Amino acid sequence: MKMFLLSSFLSSEDVTILQDSFLPLLKGVLSYTIPLTLISFAIGLILAITTALFRISGIKILSGIARVYVSIIRGTPLLVQLFIVFYGLGNLGVEALKFEPFVGAIIAFSLNTGAYASETIRASILSIEKGQWEASSSIGMSYLQSLRRVILPQATRVSVPPLSNSFIGLVKETSLASTILVSEMFRKAQEIVATTYTPLLVYVEAAAIYWVICFLLSVLQGRIEKRMNRYVKT
């Protein structure tokens, strides 16, 4: 039935192109898009937590470094950051700064995610009532103990929705890695278009795959939020 509906809008050649391009696109997703998203988000989250703690530490040097980092990343396009990491640093003549495309993409995406997510985490920490700090201090907890045992668990629940949105956004942003020759799904789509000359057909198929991935992640996000809010009074 699906094939009948599809063939009523597309020629047999178009259907063949869609079928033949699906596996290469899926390979790009499994080999690069998903690993790039997971690795970059994990590293970015570590950077985000560190940056957020620097911002609220009250130590001027640490807070200043964090502010400059966030300002630079948020004030420049991600595409420019990718080019600087991959092309720019490699032209400095230092061998250690010449990255493989996949590694360069991870560095750029991690730095970008870290800056944006740090503001989410910082806002989540600051949203916790001051009384929580005072209560944990009154029972003998140190600053770090209060942060680890009382504040961060509560801040995690608050930060899950925006961080989940950032993760979903990162899935789509990985398409920019095609500009530095990473063979993720969009790069695969470009290669297929170069041989089939059917840009609309192939790019719509790629868009559909992105949508399915993001839809499934949205469903997972909803379940995580529901689970984390099960003990919260509404």
Over the stretch 128-163, which tens digit does the pLDDT of each residue have? 888 887 788 788 787 778 888 888 888 888 899 999
Note the Cα 99 to chain centre separation in Å: 20
Encode 19-48: b = buried (16+ Cβ within 10 Å), e = exposed.
Answer: eebeebbeebbebbbbebbebbbebbbebb
Where the chain has pLDDT below 70, the residues are 1-8, 93-97, 231-234
- Which of 103, 111, 47 is CA-nearest to residue 74? 111
Look at residue 136 in the predicted model and tell me its pLDDT: 82
Neighbours of 97 (CB within 10 A): 13
Residues comprising the chain, all counted:
234
What does the alpha-carbon distance between residue 151 and residue 153 come to, in Å, rounded to a whole number? 6
Global pTM exceeds 0.75:
yes
What does the alpha-carbon distance between residue 21 and residue 13 come to, in Å, rounded to a whole number? 12
Look at residue 93 in the predicted model and tell me its pLDDT: 66
* Residues 6 or more apart in contact with residue 43 via CB below 8 angstroms: 106, 110, 113, 114
What does the alpha-carbon distance between residue 188 and residue 181 come to, in Å, rounded to a whole number? 10
In eight-state DSSP terms, residue 229 is: T
